[in-house]
Structure 1
Amino acid sequence: MNPANTTGADGTTVYYGDLEAPHQVQVFLEMRDRGSRRVVESLLGTLRKDADDGKYVVKFHFAGMIDDTAGGSGSRRALSALGAAADAGQRQFADYLAALFAAQPFPPGYDHFSETPVLLSAADAVDGLRSADFDRKVTEGTYLNWAGVAIADFELFGVVGTPIAWYDEQVLQVVKEEDGPAVSPQEFLAQLPGR
């Protein structure tokens, strides 16, 4: 079973905006990755605005490499919870994505996203997300299998590491240097054709 607002061959890509938009921005993230957090904090608002304006659809792909290297299941469990938020709506998904990154455990080796109370607590910051249905899906791990397939599908894109973004087939710079700060919204938009 896949969450709402997903697409792709296995339904493992969460999208924000209209799939019929003329362009797409694909964003590759991992929930335990600090660079992914910085990029979401800097650029999510801009991505949402442009998607709301119909300029492109944003497609989110999620990795689970830190689960493999540091141990644990936090990236997968956080993604499962994001699936439950996608069922509630695109706005709730995007707001919850931001809330989870704001609550991201540090250092990444701390696997607090594997703990249901942490995932539910982050959802308190999202207007209209907490419900009996959402809480049940997070607690029961309704989308854990889906999250595992999504993480496996990540490798199909040939992307090494996170965060990365593409505009159609064009690779976009989203961090200034490896392990460095995210680009600003203005620097991001300047890379898009026609801007």
Structure 2
Amino acid sequence: MTPANTTDPDGTTLYYGDLSAPHVLQVFIDMRDRASARVAQTLLDTIRKAADEGTLVVKFHFAGTMDDTVGGSGSQRALSALAAASDVGQKQFLDYLAALFAAQPFPPGDDRFAETSVLLSAADGVTGLRSPDFDRKVTDDTYLTWAGESIGTFPSYGVVGAPAVWYDKEVIPVVTIDGDVDITPGTFLARIQK
């Protein structure tokens, strides 16, 4: 079963915006990764604005590295819940992505994203998201298999790890080697507008 607002031949990529936009921004993240959360918290509003203006479409690719390295299933379960949000709408998907990163468990070894109650609690602040249908999809892991398939495509892009950002195949450096955010919204805009 594939959620709404997916693209690519196998339907494993969630997107935000209009697929006919002149530019493609590809964002590679892991829901349990601290650097991914910091990049999202820094750039997500700017990215949303550019997509809403029709400048670009955003394709999100998700890694499950933290599940693999420290154990658990939080990255995959969070992605499964995000897929349920995508069924509600693109706005709810992006708002929920931000809400999940804001609620990201710490340290990374904490696997609270594997808990349904944590995923549903993060959805509480997202306007128009919570409903019996959304809650059922999260509780029943409707998109868990799809999330595993989506995570499985991550290595095919040749990205070493999350987070990473590509703009029309050009790599935009977003973090330092230590995982610190290395870009401001203004610098990011300048890179995509040049």
Task: Name the TM-score class by shorter chain.
Answer: over 0.9
Structure 1 residue runs of 4 or more that deviate by more than 6 Å after TM superposition: none
**1:188 offset after TM fit, Å?**
1.0
Alignment partners' CA distance in 1, 2:79 and 2:92: 14
Q: What residue is the counterpart of 1:74 in the other structure?
A: 74
Question: Is contact 1:42–1:182 with CA below 8 Å preserved after alignment?
Answer: no
Tell me if the contact between 1:35 and 1:182 (Cα under 8 Å) persists in the aligned partners.
Answer: no
Determine helix, strand or coil for the equivalent of 2:94.
helix
- In structure 2, the partner of 1:123 is 123
Give the 3-state SS of the residue equivalent to 2:154 in structure 1. helix
Number of corresponding residues? 194
Q: Which residue of 2 aligns with 1:189?
A: 189
Which residue does 1:42 correspond to in 2? 42
2:109 maps to amino acid: G
Matched residues in 2 for 1:179 and 1:28: separation? Answer: 14
For 1:135 and 1:58, the matched residues in 2 are separated by 26
Task: Give 1:162's aligned residue.
Answer: 162
Paired with 1:185 and 1:24, the residues of 2 have a C-alpha distance of: 17
Q: Cα distance, 1:177 vs. partner?
A: 4.3
Contact 1:173–1:183 (Cα < 8 Å) also in 2: yes
TM-score (norm 2): 0.98
What is the Cα-based RMSD across aligned positions, in Å? 0.9
Q: How does 1:17-32 map to 2 (within 5 A)?
A: 17-32=17-32
CA distance in structure 2 between the partners assigned to 1:190 and 1:177 by the alignment: 22
Q: Counterpart of 1:56 in structure 2: which amino acid?
A: L
The one-letter code sitting in structure 2 at the alignment partner of 1:130 is R
Measured after TM superposition, the shift of residue 9 of structure 1 is 1.6
Offset at 1:181? 2.5
Q: Deviations over 1:113-168 (max 9, x none)?
A: 00000000000010110000000000000000000000000111011111000001
Measured against aligned partners, the alpha-carbon deviations of 1:39-68 in whole angstroms (never above 9, x if no partner) come to 000000000000000001000000001101
Moved more, 66-75 or 168-177: 168-177
Percent pairwise identity? 65
**Distance apart, 1:76 and its partner CA:** 0.1
- Secondary structure at the residue paired with 2:171? strand
| 1:176 Cα offset (Å) | 4.2
Establish whether residue 178 from structure 1 lines up as the match of residue 178 from structure 2.
Answer: yes
